[in-house]
Amino acid sequence: MGHRLAASDALFARAAQVVPRGIYGTRGPLLVVPGSYPLFVRNGRGARFWDVDGNEYIDYMCGFGSIILGYADAEVDAASREAEASGFSFSQPTEHFVALAERLSQQIDGMAWALFTKNGSDATTYAVQVARAATGRRKVLCARDAYHGSYPWSTPGDAGLLPEDTAHIHDFVWNHLGSVQRLIEQHRGDIAAAVVTPYHHPAFDDSELSANGFLQELCRLARAEGFLIVSDDIRVGFRASLRGAHTVFDYQPDLVCLSKAIANGYPLAVCLGSEEVRRAASSVFTTGTFWMHHGPMAAAHACMDRLAASDGVAQMAARGQQLIDGLQQVATRHGQRLTITGLPAMPKVRFVADRDMFRLQAFCAAATRRGAYFHPHHNWFVTTAHSEEDVQRTVEIADAAMAETVAAGDRPFA
């Protein structure tokens, strides 16, 4: 098939000499299938990227969701370049800062102010501080296995942490109101916030929508008990709605965190809040040297313009559904059953009766070697740049990958 990764592997060997783990965090090789996946990229355009060995991929990870219009989008890139041509990283913000805060405050339902950071972790951490400042309470409730960033209070890791870092963070079970109520009873009067995603999208497991009014009831409990709801909309974000995913999933947060796709890959995150928590937000000191960099803010304006003008949300949903339908047909043809959950633009795929994920890992690796970049342990992402032809080609690749996977037996070991 001519899928070679020699240059990628050589770069990784160099990286491992000078970078912890070679590549750290979710981009590291542990979570994919080393030997089948490229570890270094050369360039990208639209829905495709090319690795350093020259292999071409139709991409379904898209910068872990940060790319929503496709790579190297001409309008977004031009907006950023134009802003930066006059200099950047000034000591004070530019007009882009105000204009983007005004726009997002109006656009994101129920929000009245915005504070910009660089990464989702910055935004969620700030939101938690605001909630604590607003309520004078300590406890934060999060759904078990939800990811809200890599700072000490939220990281899934454990090295280098103190027990105190997570002493006031408590897990509830998604869609299990009883587990929330138990925490409320245990910590009544001391809960500052519940941090929730618009729907549950844990690694290694199915995505799960709110069922039986779970989110609505959680919000009702929050109002009754005096704690805030933080919507971590960093991953779902503009793939559900330009007005905030809470408008689609019908709940009303006090704080909303956005990042990833808001600037089509340019580094930007934002925490938005309601009028009621504005004063608390002002009381929290936070800053970052690069947080007011206006290039990504100009990119965000252009990104939102493009998404609005092209009805990008609907477009991504349609392409995602085409992919889901195609994959299901492929699976059926090969005698397999897939469970595909989450938004169509963010499908989470697994095989039925494959608890240990051997088959999923083999299938995703086989597809990636053939040019459709499927992650075995994370939900995938579709962009507005994915065309019908791209998806059709992807389904053809999936068909060949499925044939290889099935031929390898129940527990293929790639």
Partner 1 sequence: MNADLIKSYLYLHAVLPQLTTIAARDEQARAAIDGRAASIQLRTVRGPRARLHANGSGLSFARELRPLPSLGLLLPSPAVAVRMFGGGRATPLPWWGLWRPGIIGLLRVLTGRLAFYLTASKEELERAACFDAAVGLRLAVMVYAIAVLTEHLPEARQAAADAPEGVAEFRFADGSAGSVRLSCPREGPMRAFLVDGGVTESQAAPANLIVEFQDTRTALGVLSGEWDIWLAIGQAQIKIRGHFPLAQTILRIMGRVGQFLG
- Which residues here bind partner 1, judged by CB under 8 A? 9, 12-13, 16, 20-23, 28-31, 33-35, 39, 157-159, 204, 355-358, 361, 377, 411, 413-414
Q: Least distance from C-beta 200 to partner 1, angstroms?
A: 15
The helix or strand, by DSSP H or E, that contains position 255, with its residue range, turns out to be strand 255-258
Q: Which is nearer to partner 1, 235 or 359 (CB)?
A: 359
359 vs 255: CA distance, rounded Å: 40
Long-range contacts of 223-228 (CB under 8 A, 24+ apart): 225/184, 225/188, 225/191, 226/135, 226/189, 227/131, 227/135, 227/137, 227/141, 227/191, 227/192, 227/193, 227/194, 228/131, 228/134, 228/135, 228/192, 228/193, 228/194, 228/253, 228/254, 228/255, 228/277
Pick between residue 29 and residue 326 the one whose CB is nearest to partner 1: 29
Minimum distance from residue 6 beta carbon to partner 1 (Å): 11
Residue placing its CB nearer to partner 1 in the complex, 159 or 224: 159
- Measured in whole angstroms, the distance separating CA 106 from the mean position of its chain's CA atoms is 23
Q: Which C-beta is closer to partner 1: that of 2 or that of 355?
A: 355
Contact indicator for 377, 353 with CB cutoff of 8 Å: no
In the complex with partner 1, the residue whose CB is nearer, 12 or 238, is: 12
Smallest gap from residue 412 Cβ to partner 1 (A): 9
- 57 φ/ψ angles, rounded to the nearest 5 degrees: -135, 140
Q: Which of 54, 41, 42, 40 is nearest to 9 (CA)?
A: 40
Phi, psi dihedral angles at 407 (to 5 degrees):
-65, -25
How far is Cα 264 from Cα 296, in angstroms, rounded to an integer? Answer: 9
Q: How far is CA 244 from its chain centroid?
A: 14
Residues 265 and 41: beta-carbon distance below 8 Å: no
Q: C-alpha angle 48/307/202, rounded to 5°?
A: 65
Tokens representing 250 are 């019908």
Task: Return the number of the residue (80 or 361) whose C-beta is nearest partner 1.
Answer: 361
Of the pair 28, 326, the CB lying nearest partner 1 is at 28
Which is nearer to partner 1, 264 or 361 (by Cβ)?
A: 361
How far, in whole angstroms, is CA 16 from its chain's centroid? 26
Total residues belonging to the chain = 414
Q: How far is the CB of 205 from partner 1 (least distance, A)?
A: 9
Minimum distance from residue 16 beta carbon to partner 1 (Å)? 4
Burial (CB count within 10 angstroms: exposed 0-12, middle 13-18, buried 19+), residue 159: exposed
What is the rounded CA–CA span in Å between residue 260 and residue 241? 14
| Residue with smaller CB distance to partner 1, 164 or 389 | 164
Interacting residues of 411 by C-beta distance below 8 A, sequence separation 6+:
356, 358, 359
CB nearer to partner 1: pick between 183 and 203: 203
- Residue 266 is encoded by which pair of tokens? 């340019």
Asked if 302 and 79 touch (Cβ cutoff 8 Å), the reply is: yes
User: What region does 9 belong to: left with phi over 0, alpha with psi -120 to 50, or beta?
Assistant: alpha
Judged by beta carbon, residue 157 or residue 178, the one nearer partner 1 is: 157
Q: Shortest approach of partner 1 to residue 9 CB, angstroms? A: 6
Q: Closest distance between partner 1 and the C-beta of residue 361, in Å? A: 6
Could you identify the residue written with the tokens 């304006």?
301
